[in-house]
Amino acid sequence: MGLVEDLLANRYLITPSAYYLLSDHYGEGFTLAELIKFTKARGTFVVDSSIAGEFLREKGILPMGVPVEGGTRKSGESGDEFSEELSSVGGENAHVSPTGVSAPVSSDVGETPALESPSEPGGGTSVSTGTAPESAPILTSADGLKEEAAIFSGGESSVSTGTAEIETSSEQPPLETTTGETGIEGASGKTLPVEVGEHGEGGGIESAVGQSPPEPKPPSEISVPEETLETGNGYLNGNGNGYADSEEYYENGNGVKPRIIYGDYGIPIAYTSDEVPGGEKSYSVYSDVVITPREGFHYRAREIPDEWEMVFDVKNVRFEVPKVKNAASKEGELVIKVYTDYFRSRLRKMRRILRENPELGSVIDIGKLGYVHDEGEVTIIGLVNSKRETAKGYMFEVEDGTGIIKVFINRNNEESKKFFQIMPDSVIGFRGRYSGRGIFFASKIFLPDVPRYRREKPPLEEKVYAILLSDIHVGSNKFCERAFEKFLEWLNGEVNNGKEEELVSRIKYMVLAGDVVDGVGIYPGQYNELAIPDIFDQYEALYNLLRNVPDHITMFIGPGNHDAARTALPQPGFYEEYAKPLFKLKNAVMISNPAVIRLHGRDFLIAHGRGIEDVVNFIPKRSHHRPAEAMVDLLKLRHLAPTFGEKVPIAPDPEDTLVIESVPDLFQTGHVHVMEYRMYNGVFLINSGTWQAQTEFQKMVNIVPTPARVPIIDVETARLRAVVNFERFCEGV
């Protein structure tokens, strides 16, 4: 990025005269951090010629006797008058058609300008997506209170004929007596008494929605499933912040490490700290937390060979740079071209997914509907630009690479209920008849969805487990640090009984799905809620904690919206300048958001889960308190963030990498701080909760988190084996 772009990204302006003075020396004679610090010290956000001259003289680049335009300047004075206005990309009234079709909707589709439609393979596998009802097990918590577990459901299939209703059990098992401080609950209500461990303190282990009382618990037990529940980018923008990867960035010549904070909107702002190197801080970064494995504890997972593969990571995707017509092309044209390619990519991938459904029938381009003269029904596939309710039914505006058309479905049609499941910019299939007057009358709606039946995978020779975590939020004053340390001790063999020992000994993988630190300047007033107010120290603190994870456990760590990473989705990974300590962990793998990890032949789709925000905003009866329901909606639409331009920012990449192209065995998210899990069409969905107690912001929006819960997944079945609860060690709960 150039000097102007870097300054604008950090909310600073520069005059043309100052730009001509500084541009030739940027990156060689000075860094962005030095210029911003110099400008900020003069009480302004405008770099004009006088500031530029003073800055260059101080750096020794400009001789002291050489005058510059504008003369001297006092601190606090305003900058030069701008001779030209800054305009937004594409103009105020610019409109981007998702697939590049800029012509208005015609009453006769046959007159729509014909563009080349995206290429796609024909046919596909003949997979039905009919849904069978699944039971909802009821769990008892370790303190004997009855709790209803998050519902396991097959949900509703929108692709096949026939749907199944979600069934929940109305009966609860009788109260169980327990025998220890720690209890483990699995995914069913069956319980087995276990021996009392030697160690008095241990994490309570209970259902995903159970609440732990503050007083000591009754003796423990382990609840285990009676049977298996179900069988089943090389980004060209580098680090994305305009800073060079060199030691000069870390050491400015005076032995002072540059510090970077975030602006009001999450934009990184660099500055050099005046802090004395080596000085003591008023807060802890957990350098004294050293936990060693319990002597004599046997880790069976250490003897099981590693078997993991990175199936998809955004960093491995190579994008083509969009080509402009000529050197005189405007920047806005380039942005429009990028987003046109983005939506064409989405349409192409989704058409391929939809055509795997054998019920879809013959598919025709929208631009060719004018040539259809028979009375038979045809199917169209397109992006839903908009939707609205009418007196007699529901109207959609649908677009593909050849044209735009209005689609109507009658309110009395059972398929019309899917209207409420469709988010803007989703790709949907419609079967029906073309009226010849620019309206397509639909009789059936096809969502991309996932197939109900899939091929079973071969069993593993030995049981191996994975831990799913997210939203650690190290650095927040609500971070459950004592609970997290208890969890680390538990991983290192400080267990209470034989059942816990069996679980811990077979844990081989751990996934951290974003928001591993709390960040700085992520939301207004956050600074007052930080125990560690420095982004570098937050990652140092996280490193000091995670280095205590036994070295045979492979950790996969991805970013979230609080992390030092690109704000827009997808997130290729952490900015190494900030999160450098994490890259020193020998048993850690940095992943993107999203990513697909294959563990022993089972595909785990890992995403931070920001797309849940738009689901809650657009689909009725969805809330942050029931994230698994929103995850089902994303799975039905086969996209992690279907709607463009709302709460979830999406990067202008020429390819849509948020499409769920392959159906995973497990789908994990975080972000909303509420743990919930369920089954849908053979896929296990789980939101893994948080390690942060309720914040002031969450109180205002009435979000009640479920902190310090550790879901343990049986890799062979990709299903929940148990949930470990350390909540009673979390202050402020």
Kindly write down the DSSP assignment for every residue of 113-169, as one continuous string. PP-PPPP------------------EEE-TTS-EEEPPPP-----SSSSS-------
CA distance 541 to 273: 19
Give the tokens for residue 666.
């497990």
Could you give the 3-state DSSP secondary structure of residue 505?
helix
Nearest alpha-carbon partner for 207 in 709, 719, 627 = 709
SS3 content of the chain, % helix, strand, coil (to 5): 20, 20, 55
DSSP E strand boundaries for 447-599: 465-469, 507-513, 554-558, 588-590, 595-599
Q: What kind and span of H or E run contains 132?
A: none
Could you give the 3-state DSSP secondary structure of residue 635?
helix
Which range is least confidently modeled, 224-228, 236-240, 477-481, 663-667?
236-240
Residues near 721 by beta carbon (within 8 Å), at least 6 away in sequence:
186, 187, 224, 225, 465, 503, 712, 713, 714
Residue that the structure tokens 């997979």 belong to: 127
Strand partners, 530: 476
Q: What is the pLDDT of residue 282?
A: 87
Question: Pick the residue with more confidence: 269 or 53?
Answer: 53
Give the tokens for residue 274.
């005046």
DSSP E strand boundaries for 2-49: 13-14, 46-47
Above 80 in pLDDT, residue 615?
yes
Residue that the structure tokens 């577990």 belong to: 149
Q: What angle do CA 455, 457, 463 make, to 5 degrees?
A: 155
Q: What is the pLDDT of residue 64?
A: 60
Above 50 in pLDDT, residue 271?
no
Greatest Cα-to-Cα distance within the chain, rounded to the nearest angstrom: 89
Question: Using an 8 Å Cβ cutoff, are 658 and 569 in contact?
Answer: yes
At position 536, the amino acid (one-letter code) is F
Question: Pick the residue with more confidence: 176 or 448?
Answer: 448
Strand partners, 140: 146
Average pLDDT over residues 371-390: 89
Cα–Cα separations (whole angstroms), residue 498 to 52, 222, 495: 69, 10, 8
Average pLDDT over residues 480-491: 97
HSE-up of residue 677 (Cα within 13 Å, Cβ side): 32
Residue that the structure tokens 């996934």 belong to: 511
Residue that the structure tokens 């009418």 belong to: 390
pLDDT digits (tens, 9 = 90+) for 633-663: 999 999 999 999 899 999 988 899 999 999 9
Above 90 in pLDDT, residue 231?
no
CA distance 12 to 45: 5
Q: What is the pLDDT of residue 184?
A: 54
CA distance 71 to 81: 14
Q: Would you list the DSSP string of 267-312?
A: -EEEEE--PPTTPPPSS--STT----PPTT---GGGGSPP-EEEEE
Question: Using an 8 Å Cβ cutoff, are 668 and 513 in contact?
Answer: yes
Strand partners, 588: 555
Above 90 in pLDDT, residue 200?
no
Residues near 29 by beta carbon (within 8 Å), at least 6 away in sequence:
56, 59, 61
Average pLDDT over residues 664-674: 97
Instruction: State percent of the chain over pLDDT 70.
Output: 67
Q: What is the pLDDT of residue 124?
A: 36
Which pLDDT band, with edges at 50, 70 and 90, does 52 fall under? confident
Above 70 in pLDDT, residue 324?
no
Query: To 10 degrees, what angle do helices 481-491 and 535-546 make?
Result: 30
Question: Using an 8 Å Cβ cutoff, are 178 and 218 in contact?
Answer: yes
Nearest alpha-carbon partner for 670 in 647, 689, 698 = 689
Q: What is the pLDDT of residue 300?
A: 96
Question: Pick the residue with more confidence: 141 or 289?
Answer: 289
CA distance 283 to 294: 29
Of these ranges, 60-64, 131-135, 403-407, the one predicted with the greatest mean pLDDT is 403-407
Through-space distance between the first and last CA atoms of the chain, rounded to whole angstroms: 45
Average pLDDT over residues 306-316: 96
Architecture of domain 1-87: Orthogonal Bundle (1.10)
Which range is least confidently modeled, 234-248, 293-307, 463-477, 710-724?
234-248
CB count within 10 Å of CB 500 equals 27
DSSP 8-state secondary structure symbol assigned to residue 610: T
CB count within 10 Å of CB 196 equals 14
DSSP 8-state secondary structure symbol assigned to residue 93: T
Q: What is the pLDDT of residue 268?
A: 44
Residue that the structure tokens 């602006």 belong to: 263
Q: Tell me, rounded to whole angstroms, the distance of Cα 682 from its chain centroid.
A: 22
Above 90 in pLDDT, residue 616?
yes
Nearest alpha-carbon partner for 469 in 629, 290, 291, 686 = 686
Could you give the 3-state DSSP secondary structure of residue 331?
helix
Residues near 307 by beta carbon (within 8 Å), at least 6 away in sequence:
599, 600, 601
CA distance 440 to 369: 9
Reading across the β-sheet that carries 683-688, which strands appear in turn?
308-313, 595-599, 602-606, 666-669, 683-688, 675-680
CA distance 268 to 260: 6
Question: Using an 8 Å Cβ cutoff, are 728 and 721 in contact?
Answer: no
Above 80 in pLDDT, residue 284?
yes
Which pLDDT band, with edges at 50, 70 and 90, does 60 fall under? confident
Mean pLDDT of the chain: 75
Q: What is the pLDDT of residue 106?
A: 37
Average pLDDT over residues 590-601: 98
Average pLDDT over residues 158-165: 34
Question: Using an 8 Å Cβ cutoff, are 221 and 142 in contact?
Answer: yes
CA distance 712 to 719: 9
Could you give the 3-state DSSP secondary structure of residue 74?
coil
Query: To 10 degrees, what angle do helices 49-58 and 32-41 make?
Result: 120
Give the tokens for residue 430.
């419609």
Question: Pick the residue with more confidence: 628 or 158?
Answer: 628
Please tell me whether the peptide bond between 594 and the residue prior to it is cis, using omega within 30 degrees of 0.
Answer: yes
Question: Using an 8 Å Cβ cutoff, are 365 and 328 in contact?
Answer: no
CA distance 263 to 286: 27
Question: Using an 8 Å Cβ cutoff, are 660 and 633 in contact?
Answer: no
Which pLDDT band, with edges at 50, 70 and 90, does 121 fall under? very low
Please tell me whether the peptide bond between 652 and the residue prior to it is cis, using omega within 30 degrees of 0.
Answer: no
Above 70 in pLDDT, residue 441?
yes
CA distance 393 to 161: 21
Which pLDDT band, with edges at 50, 70 and 90, does 446 fall under? very high
Residues near 679 by beta carbon (within 8 Å), at least 6 away in sequence:
134, 152, 153, 154, 229, 230, 685
Above 80 in pLDDT, residue 514?
yes
Above 50 in pLDDT, residue 144?
no
Question: Using an 8 Å Cβ cutoff, are 188 and 168 in contact?
Answer: no
At position 135, the amino acid (one-letter code) is S
Q: What is the pLDDT of residue 580?
A: 96
Strand partners, 556: 511, 589
Residues near 417 by beta carbon (within 8 Å), at least 6 away in sequence:
none
Which pLDDT band, with edges at 50, 70 and 90, does 668 fall under? very high
